[in-house]
Structure 1
Amino acid sequence: MPSLHDPVALGGVTLPNRLYRAPLLECAGNGPDTPAILRRKLEPAAASGVGLIFQGATIVRGEGGCAAPGMTRVHDPAFVSELTEVTDTIHDHGSHIFIQLEHGGLRSMETWHAGYRAEHPNLTQLAVSKPPGFLRALDRLGVFSYTPHVLSTDEVYDLAADFGRAAGHAVDAGYDGIHLAGANMGIIQQFLSPYYNRRTDEFADGFRFLETVYDEIRTHAGDVPLVTKIPAETAAPWFVRRKLSVEDGIELAKRAANLGFDALVPVEVSTFWDMSIVRGRFPARAWHLEQLEPGYEEVFGGRMRARAVEMGNRLQARRFSDAEGWNESFCRTVRAAVDVPVLMEGGVRTRPQIDRLLSSGACDMAGMARPFYAEPRLAARLLADAESAVVCASCNNCTIPQVTGADGVCRTPSVLRRRGEFEHAGAYDPK
């Protein structure tokens, strides 16, 4: 069985080890400083020895579709060509970088971000079908604001072509591969999910959209390594009757592998954008940092609504505890059913856990996301010390402020102190 230090091939790319930095929100925008921001956020992981970096969700269109403030758009080839300095930097450290492509659909900021909606009153949300009744009820109550545009068949093909063109721009800029955001309630999951997809045309089978995106990427980007998340909606609330089961997720994984995807990332998620994505403790510090509180009121449309979201975080944190490796069972089952590498993330927190996952056949690579906020050069410790564990406390003080456009960084004093101790001891120096 493989070890963490063994190389692994994803398509035509051979990675030096089996540790990867999972997608995070870099929030680098689309300005003249974007390449520098991305280098600042991504280079530490590469310099510390991580085998693969997934640059977080980037939007394939020039308008709409952003699920969080500051997400980078990759529709413009002239702009994307400037990201060559990012890919060159990663390659100089012997690492590889894939870019994650996304469109938020009904999850987009024009749905939930009051300030953004006020600035862009004419934006609609791309919808696979008419929004489910529960979301329409929240719209009537004023919790969200839906002005959905249900995609016609031709428009679905156009959206898939946008994914393909964005992939082509990225490969021209030196990205080693493409990662599709197939979960976390993005447009791809909305096509795959029976909760959202009630179409009557050829895309009633949601996999048909993923298949069309695949074909467009192959047309525009060639035989580049292609990875996608595979969702199972096991974390959906009890009242959601139509959803993707684990068995559905396994079938999707088989179809994706047979289609030609070079690797799969099975994840157990919800039908909503909730704390099933970032499981762990209630982000108490994030909600009470004085400099962020006015931002929450702008985002959610007032102090009372902001406090309602805070209470929702508190309740969901109880439901979605930070269980170790919450995607392990799903990954293990998928890996037994397909003949392409399976990547696992979600609650991976220690080197012994990684060694066990790899040696027992649960996955072919192990990834972490939030721990890289806490320790940008985390890979050096994990690769050098067989007993190492992350300092990340899964407290979500890093992620919640990002709804205001704040930087994705660790804000927990005890975690930062521990990181400082490791820095002082030289633990982040690559061995």
Structure 2
Amino acid sequence: MPRLEDPLDIGGLTLPNRLYRAPLLECAGNEDDAVETLVSDLEPAAASGAGLVCQGATIVRGEGGCAAPGMTRVHDPDFVAELSELTDAVHAHGSTIAIQLEHGGLRSMETWHAGYRAANPGLQQLAVSRPPWPLRLLDALGFLSYDARVLSTDDVYELAADFGRSAAYAVDAGYDAIHLAGANMGIVQQFLSPFYNRRSDEFEDGVRFLELVHDEIRERAGDVPLMTKVPAETEAPPFVRNRLSAVDAVRICERLDEMGYDALVPVNASVFWDMSIVRGEFPTRAWRDERYREGYAEAFGGRTRAALVELGNWVESLAYDFEPAWNAELCRAVRERVDVPVLAEGGIRERGQMDRLLGRDCDAVGMARPFYAEPELPARLLDGATRETRVVCESCNNCAVPQATGEPGICRTPPVLRRVGGLRKSGAYERNDPSRPE
């Protein structure tokens, strides 16, 4: 069985080990301090030993498509060129870096963020097909707002070209790999999902869109390692009949392997933006914090509607309780059928669990939210860590909810922060970094 410390080859790129920082929302935007913010957020993972650092979802167009405030856009080659400061910082520690590319489609802020809609009244969502009836119902009730533009066949080709262009800019800036945001209800999942995709052209088969994106990236960015998330919509509510099953997800992965994708990240998902993505406790502290009340009201269209969203979040927390390594079984099913590395994330929290997953369910393990609490987490999990070594993250989700208001993703739970402080004081995050002089 491989060890967490063992190297891994992904499309010719050698990761120094099999622990990676999964994509997270950095909330860096594109302002003057964006690069500095990204370096501050991502370099600690590399300095503490992560084999791969994945920058969170970035948007391939200059207008629309952001699923949350503060997302970074990578449509402008001049801006992306400045990100070489980030890639250089990661490489200086002997690590590698991937950039995740995305467009939100129907999940974009122009759908759900009331303040953003008011400020951008003419902005339409991009849609694979007409929004499904549950979303149209929420529109009629005033919780969402749809003015969707269904993509023509030519529009789809142009969108794929945008992914290719952004990938090329990223490679020129020193990124080692391209990671597509294929789940979390973004535009790629919307192409793959029968819940969203009711087209009658060549993209009726949603994998065709991923094939086109692959070809655009290969033509414009060369043989850069290319990976994507692949969703199984196993967590969708029972009334959703048209969905991707686990069997469907495995078949999609087989096709992507044949197509030339270099790594796959299978995930169990819903067809909605819900807590199946961030399972765990109801984030009481974040919802009740007075500092964010006005931001919630602006985002959701008033205090009453914000209270209803909070209630819905509580109901979801009951339906999607935390489950250790919740994607492991799906990853194992994919790994048995493909020849490329399979990456697992979702609910992975301790070293012993990682050791059990590697070689059986996956080839590398990643974490996301735990890095909000411990930016230098790899230092505790690599090189001599015991099987009982565990992250301090409690999956309480107090880090995530304020992001709807534009707040950064940071740990906000005092007991967790106190424990991090104690670990830092004890030297738990110190390691022999080859980039530092003796």
**TM category, shorter:** over 0.9
- TM-score w.r.t. structure 1 length? 0.99
AA matched with 1:58: T
Q: What is the CA–CA distance in structure 1 between the aligned matches of 2:50 and 2:399, rounded to whole Å?
A: 21
Query: Which residue number in structure 2 is paired with residue 296 of structure 1?
Result: 296
- Residue 57 of structure 1: SS of its match in structure 2? strand
Give the drift of 1:31. 1.4
- Residue 178 of structure 1: SS of its match in structure 2? strand
- Residue 179 of structure 1: SS of its match in structure 2? strand
- Residue 211 of structure 1: SS of its match in structure 2? helix
Q: What is the CA–CA distance in structure 1 between the aligned matches of 2:42 and 2:345, rounded to whole Å?
A: 18
Q: Does 1:403 align with 2:404?
A: yes
Q: What is the CA–CA distance in structure 1 between the aligned matches of 2:83 and 2:237, rounded to whole Å?
A: 40
Q: Which stretch shifts more, 82-91 or 380-389?
A: 380-389
Query: Which residue number in structure 1 is paired with residue 436 of structure 2?
Result: none
AA matched with 1:28: A
Give the drift of 1:288. 1.1
Q: What is the CA–CA distance in structure 2 between the aligned matches of 1:419 and 1:160, rounded to whole Å?
A: 42
Give the drift of 1:290. 1.3
Spell out structure 1 runs of 4+ moving beyond 3 A.
none
Q: Does 1:315 align with 2:321?
A: no
- Residue 337 of structure 1: SS of its match in structure 2? coil
Give the drift of 1:293. 1.0
**Residues 56-110 of structure 1: CA deviation (Å, up to 9, x unaligned):** 0000000000000010000010110000000000000111000000000000000
1:316-335 matched pairs, under 5 angstroms: 316-335=316-335
AA matched with 2:281: R
- Residue 366 of structure 2: SS of its match in structure 1? strand
- Residue 321 of structure 1: SS of its match in structure 2? coil
Q: What is the CA–CA distance in structure 2 between the aligned matches of 1:199 and 1:313, rounded to whole Å?
A: 32
Q: What is the CA–CA distance in structure 1 between the aligned matches of 2:36 and 2:71, rounded to whole Å?
A: 15
**Residues 180-230 of structure 1: CA deviation (Å, up to 9, x unaligned):** 000000000000000000000000000000100000000110000000001
Q: Does 1:193 align with 2:188?
A: no
- Residue 291 of structure 1: SS of its match in structure 2? helix
Q: Return 5+ residue gaps in structure 2 as ranges.
A: 433-438
1:29-428 matched pairs, under 5 angstroms: 29-359=29-359, 361-384=360-383, 385-386=385-386, 387-428=388-429
AA matched with 1:132: P
AA matched with 2:105: G
Give the drift of 1:289. 1.2
Q: What is the CA–CA distance in structure 2 between the aligned matches of 1:30 and 1:150, rounded to whole Å?
A: 28
Q: What is the CA–CA distance in structure 1 between the aligned matches of 2:156 and 2:262, rounded to whole Å?
A: 24
- Residue 129 of structure 1: SS of its match in structure 2? coil
Q: What is the CA–CA distance in structure 2 between the aligned matches of 1:379 and 1:290, rounded to whole Å?
A: 34
- Residue 282 of structure 1: SS of its match in structure 2? coil
Q: What is the CA–CA distance in structure 2 between the aligned matches of 1:303 and 1:31, rounded to whole Å?
A: 29
Q: What is the CA–CA distance in structure 2 between the aligned matches of 1:417 and 1:188, rounded to whole Å?
A: 39
Q: What is the CA–CA distance in structure 1 between the aligned matches of 2:110 and 2:273, rounded to whole Å?
A: 14
AA matched with 1:367: G
Q: What is the CA–CA distance in structure 2 between the aligned matches of 1:276 and 1:237, rounded to whole Å?
A: 11
Q: What is the CA–CA distance in structure 1 between the aligned matches of 2:431 and 2:395, rounded to whole Å?
A: 25
AA matched with 1:216: E
Give the drift of 1:12. 1.4
- Residue 58 of structure 1: SS of its match in structure 2? strand
Give the drift of 1:14. 0.2
Q: What is the CA–CA distance in structure 2 between the aligned matches of 1:78 and 1:406, rounded to whole Å?
A: 26
- Residue 147 of structure 1: SS of its match in structure 2? coil
AA matched with 2:312: G
Give the drift of 1:430. 1.3
- Residue 23 of structure 2: SS of its match in structure 1? coil
- Residue 292 of structure 1: SS of its match in structure 2? helix
Q: What is the CA–CA distance in structure 2 between the aligned matches of 1:199 and 1:93, rounded to whole Å?
A: 46
Aligned residues: 430
- Residue 189 of structure 1: SS of its match in structure 2? helix
AA matched with 1:398: C
- Residue 80 of structure 1: SS of its match in structure 2? helix
Q: What is the CA–CA distance in structure 2 between the aligned matches of 1:105 and 1:126, rounded to whole Å?
A: 5
Q: What is the CA–CA distance in structure 2 between the aligned matches of 1:27 and 1:12, rounded to whole Å?
A: 31
- Residue 291 of structure 2: SS of its match in structure 1? coil
- Residue 54 of structure 2: SS of its match in structure 1? strand
AA matched with 1:12: G
Percent identity between matched residues is 67
**Residues 369-399 of structure 1: CA deviation (Å, up to 9, x unaligned):** 0000010000000113123100000000001
- Residue 9 of structure 1: SS of its match in structure 2? strand
Q: What is the CA–CA distance in structure 2 between the aligned matches of 1:263 and 1:291, rounded to whole Å?
A: 41
AA matched with 2:375: P
Q: Return 5+ residue gaps in structure 1 as ranges.
A: none
Q: What is the CA–CA distance in structure 1 between the aligned matches of 2:358 and 2:58, rounded to whole Å?
A: 30
AA matched with 1:326: W
